[in-house]
Chain A
Amino acid sequence: MTTSTAIRRPTELHARLVLPDVEIGICLGTGGVAAGGDEVFAAFEAGLAGTGVFAVVKPREDTCPGSCASIIGTGCRGMCAMDVLVDVLTRKEGVESKVTYGTVTEKMVAKIIEEHIIGGEPVHKWIVLSDDEPTSHNEFYQLQDRLVLRNCGTIDPEIIDDYLEAGGYRGLYKVLTEMTPERVHQEVLASGLRGRGGAGFPTGLKWKFAAEAPSATGEKFFICNGDEGDPGAFMDRSVLEGDPHSVFEGMAIGGYAIGADHGYVYVRAEYPLAIKRLKIALKQAEDRGLLGANIMGSDFSFHLKIKEGAGAFVCGEETALMQSIEGKRGMPRLRPPFPAQSGLWTSPTNINNVETLACVPWIITEGAEAFAGRGFEKSKGTKVFALTGKVKRSGLAEVPMGLTLRDVIYSIGGGMKDDKEFRAVQMGGPSGGCLPASLLDTRVDYEELNETGAIVGSGGMVVLDVDNCIVDTARFFLKFTQAESCGKCVPCRVGTVRMLEILTRICEGKGVQEDIGLLETLADDIKAGSLCALGGTAPNPVLTSLKYFREEFEEHIHEKKCRAGACAELTTYWIVAETCTGCRACSRACPVDAITGEKKEVHVIDPEACIKCGACYQKCRFDAVRRQ
């Protein structure tokens, strides 16, 4: 705690000089940009200027006597499948109304400008979210509790004043003026916050250890882990792209709590947009004296560096990550010593995940009780999930801990896509597992999920339906971990390949009964004999699948059957004469011309030529293409 009189409040923001009549917010997260966000942005800019009615202004820089509009690029708001998402907020006689348009393209912009912005009547058919006339997509947000993602999608991450206006850097101000470092870890401990990087270790406790560790070098470091290597996970990217300052603020608070004055944000190089925004944000925060030497005029200094990782999954493991920052090959090393004792360049080091850190300023400003008031038993607060697969609405959803899987899949996700039957939900990515329908009432809670064999992990949630093969899914995840093994430990390096070969054999119908036992033996050895958690958890997808879906493995082995029709070697396609209308949809879809037949006559599949891609099966509207 430093004397508060000398410390400047972080409120010296550039206030808005005008309140625009129209505010347009366009998603420019990676999803938005990929869907054409930049083009939509340009189209709005040109379109509005062309109307002659509105001046396009930057509200913190320009003034405007007449009608004016502002356009900002925002971060991701979770409904990435609907990108480009565009918010249109209009103010008329003091009344604000806001709608969100989905899957907006350049071509749609003129109509939105003409009918909605000028004409005052929203283009109803393109609205996906609206408070006045709720659509089914509103349900996507109903059970959500957006705390980590509080600013994602609402502020412009490239304008620090937006973050400050939303209450940013008040947490840091509070710890510098009112709290001792011990009070900070106590507060974080009391909130019940646990690491969101996968292991779920209590963050306050971790900080305490790092704070109490003596440093032989006189230095301590604070690292943010933004490696995010789990396939399918993108919550950390969304936070880094949409609200970079929240992570910086969390780090500075943590740095103060453990006595570190240097920090690193480690981000994978495959996240160029996140890196760009982090660099802009860092510069802005340093220019305002919110990071760097003597923050806010206090005697606490915290210098940050952005470090780009070359994109190895294993570099997300904390000891490997530190090797990577040191310029070495990222390979895990045995703990102890833990990073809190000897981490980066042998100095005591604390490392936290992006999502963990984004919670911190919120906890400090809103209080530990507010955070601990959400959640369930030993899992407090919220968790962001990347909901994907066969659900109606996929995307990023932040929910209070303790919600059931059923809530997430059926309320937020809107249930099964095309109303097909639910088969399984894969939780926690390559370290997690597949859970059957009977476990849908499991809560999103560290302890409850661990008990099933799956994990909360980084929050990947892939929903599978009857067209997905469990064996094949397990094979997918194992293929990932075996390729990403750093190569150090024998069981992880070699054992995972052997398991993969066995699974491939089974998928190809060449498996034998002993293979199941061999899979279990190898899995046990890999778990027991791996130095880091990559190997330690790599067999989980296979083990949980064997636990809950053993009969599917046995079907593949004994009956040479894949009930999902996903394993090509075990599947045949044919056309039933009774229902085939000869519409030719199938023969046009077949990439290898394996289907023949005259127009309006029954078609036939040549089994020799068929590559079992399933294109005809998807295309036939008369249920004439069958598979087994």
Chain B
Amino acid sequence: MRVHDLTIDGVAVSAPEGTTVLDAARKKGIYIPHLCDRPDLKPVGVCRMCTVEVEGKGLVISCKTPVRDGMVVRTESEGVSKVRQVALELLIADHDSDCLTCAKDTNCSLQRVARHVGVDSPRLARIRRERDRRPLDTSNPFFDFDPNRCILCGICVRTCDELQNINAIDYTFRGTKTLIAGFGNRPRIETNCESCGECVVRCPVGALVPKDSRQPSKLVRTICSFCGCGCGMLLGVRDGEIVSAAGDFKNPASRGRLCVKGRYGYRYVNSPERLTTPLVKRDGEFIPVGWDEALDLVAEKFSESMGDSFATIASAKCTNEENYVVQKFTRVVMGTNNIDHCARL
């Protein structure tokens, strides 16, 4: 593929054809403020924070501008500062300002952009005003949506469309009434939302946040135990308890994505109802026993039922390899073809 050589703030950068200036800068570790762009989504160019100056072309948005040989890009200039500063002030003026109580505090793209770009405080004061508070959508059991913190970057909408192919949410209404919501402004629980939480992870601000927003004290890299897909995940642990789960973007199989079970279904681990030892029924009651005793009992019962009086139903929680072993055991050891799997239903 053709490679283009350009400079960004005087730094030489090479990037393959089709790369955007913003991506090229990102790869080189040069920060260009941005809010609506994400490397895993198609660029839309709506926040204007990524404005840069290209010699001979003037102001352009870097998330939509492909690299070209010989391009000279400046991320700072009078024109650049003006456009993005006023746009930023407009966003801030239309946003809640109680950052300390926001779940995304210190981890918010708007804060980062604001620190980088800076604001003209007197002007900001003049364009700030009392806003009507809009009702929260807390209908989803796993996460909440606060339109008062939403910057309408559209990342959630694009995530649901481009990555998940669900299209549960979209923009509704126009002008300042514009809102992200389900079809017909229905709460999320009444849409076809699968609660995968992919939008929640990508929301750059505190508009979409998990209901359980406890911060872990350490992360453990592991594989999701829910199904044979084996998505990579980072479990957040705090005082011996799992308090969060996040997709592992380094995992080549799942590339950071999880489904509703992997992302939000971790509470069973600490549930008091969880079985932690084998149980054997004696005289109508379940009695906890050791593994050896339990397995002996199973082997004894199996040997009483060789042939077609025996059948297995395998589990989707098992890997392919485990399922292979199950069928092999059933055919070769138990001598029957009575095999089924829950995923067939």
Contact = CB atoms under 8 A, between A and B. Distances in A.
A334 B45 contact: yes
Given A487-B175, A494-B90, A514-B126, 14 more contacts: A329-B172, A485-B175, A486-B174, A486-B178, A490-B90, A491-B90, A493-B176, A495-B86, A498-B90, A498-B127, A518-B127, A522-B90, A524-B86, A528-B59
A529 B175 contact: no
Contact of B86 (A329, A482, A485, A525): A525
A485 B94 contact: no
Interface string A400-436: 0000000000000000000000000000000000000
Nearest to B151: A490
A333 B176 contact: no
A489 B174 contact: no
B116 interface: no
A483 B175 contact: yes
A493 B45 contact: no
A531 interface: yes
A478 to B, nearest CB: 11
Closest 4 CB pairs of A and B: A487-B178, A525-B86, A494-B90, A529-B48
Nearest to A487: B178
A488 B123 CA distance: 23
Interface in A482-534: 482-491, 493-498, 501, 514, 518, 521-522, 524-525, 528-529, 531
B87 A490 contact: yes
A211 interface: no
B33 to A, nearest CB: 13
B249 interface: no
A493 B64 contact: no
B302 interface: no
A586 interface: no
Residue among B51, B177, B178 with the most chain A CB within 10 A? Answer: B178
A314 interface: yes
7 contacts: A486-B171, A493-B152, A495-B87, A518-B123, A518-B126, A521-B86, A528-B83
A494 B154 CA distance: 15
B82 interface: yes
B157 to A, nearest CB: 10
A526 B178 CA distance: 17
Interface in A302-340: 312, 314, 329, 331, 333-334
Interface string B109-129: 000000000000001001101
B175 A497 contact: yes
Contacts of A518: 123, 126-127
B87 A488 contact: no
B44 interface: yes
A486 B86 CA distance: 20
B170 interface: yes
Residue among A314, A485, A494, A497 with the most chain B CB within 10 A? Answer: A494
A587 B45 CA distance: 58
Contacts of A314: 174
Contacts of B152: 487-488, 490, 493
Interface of B: 44-48, 51, 59, 64, 82-83, 86-87, 90-91, 93-94, 123, 126-127, 129, 151-152, 154, 170-178
- Main SS class of interface, A: helix
A43 B82 CA distance: 66
A531 B46 contact: yes
Given A331-B171, A486-B174, A501 B87 contact: no
A558 B136 CA distance: 43
Contacts of A497: 175-176
A485 to B, nearest CB: 5
Contacts of A501: 129
Given A329-B171, A518-B123, A521-B86, A490 B178 contact: no
A522 B64 CA distance: 23
A497 B90 CA distance: 10
A483 B174 CA distance: 6
A88 B28 CA distance: 79
Interface string A520-563: 01101100110100000000000000000000000000000000
Nearest to A512: B126
Contacts of B151: 490
Nearest to A521: B86
Contact of A529 (B83, B123, B173, B174): B83
Contacts of A531: 45-46
B174 A487 contact: yes
Contacts of B47: 489-490
A487 B171 contact: yes
B52 to A, nearest CB: 13
B176 A491 contact: no
Contacts of A482: 175-176
B121 to A, nearest CB: 14
A517 to B, nearest CB: 9
Contact of B48 (A312, A485, A489): A489
Residue among A333, A488, A495, A529 with the most chain B CB within 10 A? Answer: A529
Contacts of A483: 174-175
Nearest to B43: A334
B78 to A, nearest CB: 12
Nearest to A528: B83
Given A482-B175, A529-B48, A329 B90 contact: no
B169 to A, nearest CB: 11
Contacts of A491: 48, 86-87, 90
A607 B317 CA distance: 80
Given A333-B44, A334-B45, A484 B174 contact: yes
A493 B44 CA distance: 16
Nearest to A484: B174
Contacts of B93: 494, 498
B136 to A, nearest CB: 19
Contacts of A524: 82, 86
A493 B47 CA distance: 11
Contacts of B45: 334, 531
Given A329-B171, A531-B46, A488 B154 contact: yes
Contacts of B129: 501
A521 B87 CA distance: 11
Given A485-B174, A525-B82, A525-B83, A490 B46 contact: yes
Contacts of B87: 490-491, 495, 525, 529
Nearest to A515: B126
Residue among B45, B127, B173, B178 with the most chain A CB within 10 A? Answer: B127
Nearest to A481: B175
A487 B123 CA distance: 23
B91 A490 contact: yes
Contacts of B171: 329, 331, 486-488
A487 B87 CA distance: 14
Nearest to B79: A528
Nearest to A491: B87
Given A312-B174, A490-B46, A521 B123 contact: yes
A323 to B, nearest CB: 11
A536 to B, nearest CB: 12
A86 B327 CA distance: 89
B173 to A, nearest CB: 7
Residue among A490, A494, A514, A524 with the most chain B CB within 10 A? Answer: A490
Nearest to B127: A498
Nearest to A480: B175
